[in-house]
Structure 1
Amino acid sequence: MSQGIDVTNESIYYGQHKAVEDVNVHINPSSVTALIGPSGCGKSTFLRSLNRMHEVIPGAYVEGEVRIDGLDIYAPGIDPVDVRGHVGMVFQRPNPFPTMSIGDNVLAGIRLNNKKLKKSDADEIVERSLRGANLWEEVKDRLGRPGSSLSGGQQQRLCIARAIAVQPDVLLMDEPCSALDPISTLAIEDLMTELKATYTIVIVTH
């Protein structure tokens, strides 16, 4: 079930540098919220703070609160890896794992969490996720082919399928269409309209 996000007095730092200052925002569940603004104003930094991805940069930290369904994801004892299991992310450039098949790409996040899967369960997750990303009909006969064999727009939808396979509550998208042609961009936009029924989506536009 999608969940709302409440950000209170959030400032984001990289060492001594304050990149984002005093953000207060409520994001409704089952909605698409777009972040707009000039290049370098902190949109992607703010987006990554919603699943603690910015913390992979040494010296980065946050002041304030980010609550998802009432839970402060920065409270003591909260595991960032667990947060990322509930808040999926799709990046600017399509990044399927090049040595993995289309099917294995979809399952990568689940297997990363050391979940043992029966083949029937794995097949069901792959089909459900690819259907959710509007990609199933295009790739169902070549699931064993490398993910990198797909077109750019298909690769980005594969990355969306990979993100939703773990059934997150929130889906973050960092300029997901900036590397795509207009037709592929339209497909992603249409897909987001469908996905908002299931997920809370926050997107940085370009």
Structure 2
Amino acid sequence: MSLPAESATITLTARAVLFDMDGTLVDSTAVVEQVWGEFAARYGLDIAEILRTSHGVQAGDTVRRFAPTGADVVALTAELGAMERVRTEGIVALPGAAELLRSLPADAVALVTSADRILADIRMEAAGLAMPGTAVTAELVARGKPHPEGYLRAAELLRVEPADAVIFEDAPAGIAAGLAAGIRTIAVGPNTGEVPDGVLRIPDYSSVAASVEADGDGRRVISLSL
């Protein structure tokens, strides 16, 4: 569900805000398509199908799905990861992402990404974005998206209940993970696929604003205007 007319602003309140990285905070499309394109060409695979199903999913899961029988999945995943780490040309932040991150309390923000920590640091730096103090990266979870483990772990680290958090996500797998975690999820950008009923969709963060207040009990509340 896209947001209604410009005059109708929707405001959500939360105690924590969780972000995916690729496609959500960082536009790394050029690098991702280049690396997976080389993988597809090597094995004669359908690159369109790989890109359609790999978005938001851990690289190892995609390699396991598409690599030829008998291939060394661990070695291939490591090779692709090494390729991604040295390619940063064209990586930029989504419009408004830097401003939104700066406006949020540092201890109420987490990154939850299917990338490993090294790649996450590289891409956030390439995009000119500060890495949140709390980051749940691929090596910290046993099950990647669409499993909710990463988002539940982030809520736990930030000491908030899932119902008190909001997620920004761009990929069907990540949106499914957020909803499975019981966390309100906002779809970002053009790669979300058909979003489930009730999920808001925004093009980027250009029109998103955050403010911080205190509730009647003196607890901090973040208001997100979309």
Q: Indicate whether the TM-score tops 0.5.
A: no
Q: Which has the higher strand share?
A: 1
Q: TM-score, normalised by structure 2?
A: 0.30
Q: TM-score, normalised by structure 1?
A: 0.32
